[in-house]
Amino acid sequence: METIVRVQVELPADIELLAEAADAEGVPNMRKLISAWRSGEQRFDRNGAALFAAYAARGLAGVGGAKPEVNLVEPAMRMHRFFVHPSCRRLGIGRRLAQAVMTHALSRVEVLTCHARASSAAAPFWESLGFLAVNHPHFTHLFRPRARPATGAAVSR
């Protein structure tokens, strides 16, 4: 069973292993994460942003976060810097990691976005979590929770 924790002070010690796996797949997001964290440009510690790490028996299995989405007028969060080690895929770890990040983000806003062009598996993964493909220049998918009844609305019994 895996453990999902919020990353707050330092990146996980074995983040380099994820970066090497991402490099091998031609996915630059782990190198971007490491660079932005080290420079202080993006620490996932402002405006509701958060980064989470998933650990399995073998160690660090994946990371993913959410940050404010700046390309929408309404308040939204962007699912950001997701990567699951290839040896940990198809085990449900990525789904549980994404759900933890979504729960965090949805406690702050009602709209989530993501950019799912990193691999051919990205779009189907996000769509399985309820994201819908959209035609937007800055993101590929959008998530809105199911509409809730308005406050004070009559409920039929």
CATH number, position 67? 3.40.630.30
| pLDDT tens for each residue of 97-122 | 999 999 999 999 999 999 998 888 89
CB neighbour list of residue 111: distance below 8 Å, 6 or more residues apart: 69, 72, 74, 75, 76, 77, 142, 143, 144
What mean pLDDT is reported for the chain? 91
Q: Is residue 148, in this structure, part of any structural domain at all? A: no
pLDDT < 70 positions in the chain: 1, 147-157
- What is the residue whose two structure tokens read 């199911």? 146
What is the pLDDT, as a whole number, of residue 153? 42
What's the domain range around 89? 3-143
What is the pLDDT, as a whole number, of residue 1? 65
Q: For the chain, what is the domain count?
A: 1
Beta strands in the chain (DSSP E): 3-7, 50-56, 59-68, 77-84, 112-114, 132-133, 141-143
Q: Is residue 150, in this structure, part of any structural domain at all? A: no
